[in-house]
Amino acid sequence: MGPKRAIVLLSGGLDSATVLAIARSRNFECYALSVEYGQRHRAELNAARRLAVALGAHEHRTMRVDLADIGGSALTDIKVPVPQAPGSGIPVTYVPARNTLFLSLALGWAEVIGAADIFMGVNAVDYSGYPDCRPAFIRAFEALARVATKAGVEGGRFHIHAPLIEMSKADIIRAGVDLGVDFAATVSCYQADADGKACGKCDSCRLRAAGFAAARIPDPTVYRP
């Protein structure tokens, strides 16, 4: 019997890096998948490449789906400003259908390589405003995978692992540190520059900084002046 294989969605951020480390700790042979989807910067994709190597991914691929053609999100549409203060409801940083598309790409690759497991770093605590970061979404996609794939209709079952979904940012950081994740190599900022330096003002930067403070772990993030 060969190794257990898993697809791990790897954005280059803090959460996905921790998920890759978790999957490796569970003895999965990890195939890391990043997606160039028309996001504002490439710094996180550059980080993903480095993290895939550092965290022992068996293979790393970057696939392309240009969600900038759809627009409607502060992360893909330059006409929509990145918010500088917390809001209510579903944030403007929500990217329509992003996680559905990401999981679809992961599902296709999983079926090709014979993997039954897909890991992703969604979190319903810090990002409860995102509909595609909730347990109901994960359950629904697993049900879809059973009827939408050759492997599924022939009796196979895909498992979508979301190990961070009920964890606080501080808990995620502690778990990553325990597993040897170098968080200095991750990029979380919505407006990072070409070198990956963070703005320190966007929602993602605020959540990340608050997480390190709550975990009582020094924040290794490099911020722009």
Confidence at residue 81, expressed as pLDDT on a 0 to 100 scale: 59
Measured between alpha carbons, how far is 147 from 153 in angstroms, rounded to an integer?
6
The number of distinct structural domains making up the chain is 1
> Which of the residue ranges 86-90, 117-121, 155-159 would you say has the lowest mean pLDDT?
86-90
Q: Strand 117-119 and strand 159-161: pairing?
A: parallel
Instruction: Indicate whether 220 belongs to any domain.
Output: no
Instruction: Give the tokens for residue 224.
Output: 């722009």
Q: What is the pLDDT of residues 149-191, one digit of tens each?
A: 999 999 989 999 999 999 999 999 999 999 999 999 999 998 8
Nearest residue to 129 (alpha-carbon basis) of 36, 38, 206, 203 = 203
Instruction: Give the tokens for residue 171.
Output: 């808990």
Instruction: Indicate whether 171 belongs to any domain.
Output: yes
DSSP labels, the chain: ----EEEEE--SSHHHHHHHHHHHHTT-EEEEEEEE-S-S-SHHHHHHHHHHHHTT-SEEEEEE--GGGT--STTT-TTSPPPSS--SSS-TT--TTHHHHHHHHHHHHHHHHT--EEE----TTTTTT-GGGSHHHHHHHHHHHHHHSHHHHTT---EEE-TTTT--HHHHHHHHHHTT--GGG----TT--TT--B-S-SHHHHHHHHHHHHHT----PPBP-
**CATH classification at residue 43:** 3.40.50.620
Instruction: Indicate whether 145 belongs to any domain.
Output: yes
Instruction: Indicate whether 183 belongs to any domain.
Output: yes
Instruction: Indicate whether 223 belongs to any domain.
Output: no
Instruction: Indicate whether 224 belongs to any domain.
Output: no
Instruction: Indicate whether 161 belongs to any domain.
Output: yes
Residue 102 has pLDDT above 90, yes or no: yes
Measured between alpha carbons, how far is 200 from 181 in angstroms, rounded to an integer?
21
Residue 126 has pLDDT above 80, yes or no: no
Measured between alpha carbons, how far is 66 from 107 in angstroms, rounded to an integer?
19
> Which of the residue ranges 48-52, 53-57, 107-111, 127-131 would you say has the lowest mean pLDDT?
127-131
Instruction: Indicate whether 22 belongs to any domain.
Output: yes
* Band (28; pLDDT cuts 50, 70, 90): very high
Residue 168 domain boundaries: 5-215
Instruction: Give the tokens for residue 153.
Output: 């209709």
